[in-house]
Structure 1
Amino acid sequence: MKKDRLLAKWLNDDLSPDELTAFEASPDFEKYQKIKKYTAHLEAGDLDENTMLSNILSQKKATPKVVPLYQKWILKAAAILVLALGITFAMKAFMPQTETADFGKKTAFSLPDNSEVVLNSGSEIHYKKWNWDNNRHLELKGEAYFKVAKGRKFEVQTNLGKVTVLGTQFNVKARKNKFDVVCYEGRVKVTYSNAEILLTHGQSVRFENGKEIKMTVSALKPEWIDNQICFYKENIRALLDEVERQYNIKIDLNAKDTVSLFTGKLPAKDLNTALQIISTTYHLEAKKVSNNKIIFDEK
């Protein structure tokens, strides 16, 4: 213990002359002297805790990633595009869809459940894609032929009446004061005012000015699909209105007989033949004033 105390005092140059003489005479003095010589250059600096903490924090802090300006612009543009596409999709799903067939044309399309629709000339349909499978409802103006896929209740609403089915083929026509429904397959329920009528294959019904007229149909599909205009007890003005729609023309009638009823067919792709049949039936003379205007005069 005394030896260790002397060693400590010697290292601190704190020995008295007598103690130094005795220490230098010890057998281990030469070894102590070598250790002191080789460790003399080592220094323990003052501990600066604040500096040490700052160094540690600076080493852990990640170098910020610099994003070029053009990359920021691309990211913003992509975000705007995604948002725009989302809004467009939502609008298409929620907003009413419209399908039209202009005069002189027919339009065929499929509904979201793959039900098939053919619109006759001068007709249009409105419906919504959103939740279609659970709410198969559409609005019809004019005439259309439907091949309905099986599923939930399918409704066709017109300004004159409504047709309800589950899965079948039928034709609906609502023009002016006349509402016609023909069932070609399955069953359909027709609602007109306060009346409900069930039609099966080959049956049809017409409501005109509030009166019901039942008819039997032998065709497998509407004649107008094959470009034949079919009439059943139509007056000449109703007949000419349909010819105007099919050929996209204007017809003026100068005749006294507008009451006689016509039952038969007219071609929808041969105007000259159609005009000849009308002229012969009603004893009229057809004059082409222009490419899209015809005048019927009495002979």
Structure 2
Amino acid sequence: MKQQYDLAKWLAGEMSDTERQAFEKTPEYATYAKIKDYSAQLQAPDFDQDAIYRNVVSREKKQPKVIPLYRTVFRFAAVLVIALGLFFVAKNMMPSTETAENAEFASFSLPDESEVTLNAGSEITYKKWGWDNHRSLTLEGEAYFKVAKGKKFEVNTSLGKVTVLGTQFDVKARDGRFDVMCFEGRVRVDYGEAQTVITKGQSVSFENGQPIDVPQNDGVGPAWLQDKLVFHKVNFPTIVGELNRQYDINILVKGVPSAQLFTGVLPRKNIDEALQIVASTYHLNLLRQDGKIILEAR
């Protein structure tokens, strides 16, 4: 969004000298300048009423000049080709967004053939243009990555950054908690001032600025791709939020449940069983009224 705003200011000539100098140093500036130059060539000439009148009067004294239809068609086609070219260039330069709605997964490939699977209620934004020189994306939620062999690859979140080179890993950033699990290769995790490197089978977690001890993973892949919701030392609101996303429901909580942390596994395809486990663990009554699911403190 910031880049689109800067582009608009530059095209309108509303940038200060400092802003313009900074904008001209960006990798995309050369392309923007070309698009602006090409667009300028497509502008219509200024309207001169007197000249048009004189032209009409003079034509009355001359034989009409017939312009072959094919020339008009060729000119129109040339303008159309240029316009389409500018459209596709601009489209490729705009950030691309991939989204997984609640109760759904979404899989896609990045320009370098790296494979990404988004967990429910997650989103990734990245740029296709210049990907080979800037292999970076922004994640909101959780995603599993199978990174193609090659240059450095970065995943940015609101809580931390993960840097990898040809590996498989899972990143989750929700509600103040940041989890990274490595299933192949090695990844570097940046969280605040802390930096750590983990390898296959290792995991690292932070919550509200503090590290959390978590067990090693099985090295196979994230549990949610196996229809299991695995939790380790999470609070009650986190469990409810994950169930809402995975089942696309809205659980109503009445009363104040226990503050105990939950470690365990819930099914991803059996909401009744999942709710029973949660209700039993936190000593809650499970009610269904008018199509609503209610967890009520006893």
TM (norm. structure 1) is 0.73
**Corresponding residue for residue 87 of structure 1:** 86
Partner of 1:34: none
The sequence identity of aligned pairs, in percent, is 51
* Displaced runs of 4 or more, over 4 A: none
Matched-pair contact (CA < 8 Å) for 1:136–1:153: yes
Please say if 1:282 is aligned against 2:282. yes
Deviations for 1:44-99, whole angstroms, at most 9, x for unmatched residues? xxxxxxxxxxxxxxxxxxxx99513xx45543543343234312321232111101
* Secondary structure of residue in 2 paired with 1:144: strand
Q: What is the DSSP-based 3-state SS (H/G/I as helix, E as strand, rest coil) of the residue aligned with 1:212?
A: strand
Alignment of 1:120-269 (within 5 A): 120-215=119-214, 216-269=216-269
Residue 231 of structure 1: how far off its partner (Å): 0.6
**Residue pair 1:204, 1:214 contacting (<8 A) in 2 also:** no
Alignment TM-score, normalising by the size of structure 2: 0.74
Please say if residues 186 and 201 of structure 1, whose CA atoms lie closer than 8 Å, have aligned partners that are also in contact: yes
The Cα of 1:288 is off from its aligned counterpart by 2.9
Letter in 1 for 2:277: I
- Name the CA shift for 1:205/1:290 in 2 (closer, same or farther; >3 Å): farther
1:243 maps to amino acid = L
Query: Structure 1 residues 285 and 219, CA, compared in 2 at 3 Å: closer, same or farther?
Result: farther
Q: Residues of 2 paired with 1:109 and 1:263: CA distance?
A: 31
In the alignment, what sits opposite 1:31?
Answer: none
- Residue 290 of structure 1 deviates from its aligned partner by 4.8
Contact 1:171-1:181 within 8 A present in 2 as well = yes
Which of 72-81 and 120-129 deviates more? 72-81
Indicate the SS of the match to 1:160.
Answer: coil
Deviation at 1:213, TM superposition (A): 1.7
SS where residue 286 of structure 1 aligns? strand
Alpha-carbon shift at residue 211 of structure 1 (Å): 0.7
**Deviation readout 1:132-173 (Å, 9 max, x if unpaired):** 112110001110000000111000000110000111000000
Kept in 1, the 8 Å contact 2:184–2:219? The answer is: no
Aligned partner of 2:257: which letter?
A: D
Query: Aligned partners of 2:79, 2:293: CA distance in 1, in Å?
Result: 55
Cα displacement (A) at 1:289: 3.5
The count of residues paired between Structure 1 and Structure 2 equals 233
Question: Tell me, what secondary structure is at the counterpart of 1:278?
Answer: helix
Partner residue of 1:33?
Answer: none
Measured in 1, the distance between the counterparts of 2:72 and 2:231 equals 64
Helix, strand or coil at the partner of 1:296: strand
Specify the alignment match of 1:49 in structure 2: none
Tell me how far 1:237 sits from its aligned partner: 0.9
Task: Give the Cα separation in 1 of the matches to 2:287 and 2:126.
Answer: 41
What's the offset of the Cα at 1:298? Answer: 2.5
Which amino acid counterpart does residue 251 of structure 1 have in structure 2?
Answer: I
Pick closer, same or farther for the CA change 1:284–1:151 going to 2, 3 Å. Answer: same
- Corresponding residue number in structure 2 for 1:104: 103
Match of 1:67 in 2: 68
Structure 1 gaps, min length 5: 1-63
Give 2:287's aligned amino acid. Answer: K
- 3-state DSSP of counterpart to 1:206: strand
Q: Read off the aligned partner of 1:241 and give its amino acid letter.
A: G
The match for 2:118 is 119
- In the TM superposition, residue 219 of structure 1 has moved relative to its aligned partner by 4.6
CA contact (8 A) 1:140 1:157 kept: yes
- Alpha-carbon distance in 1 for matches of 2:226, 2:80: 45
Moved more, 80-89 or 162-171: 80-89
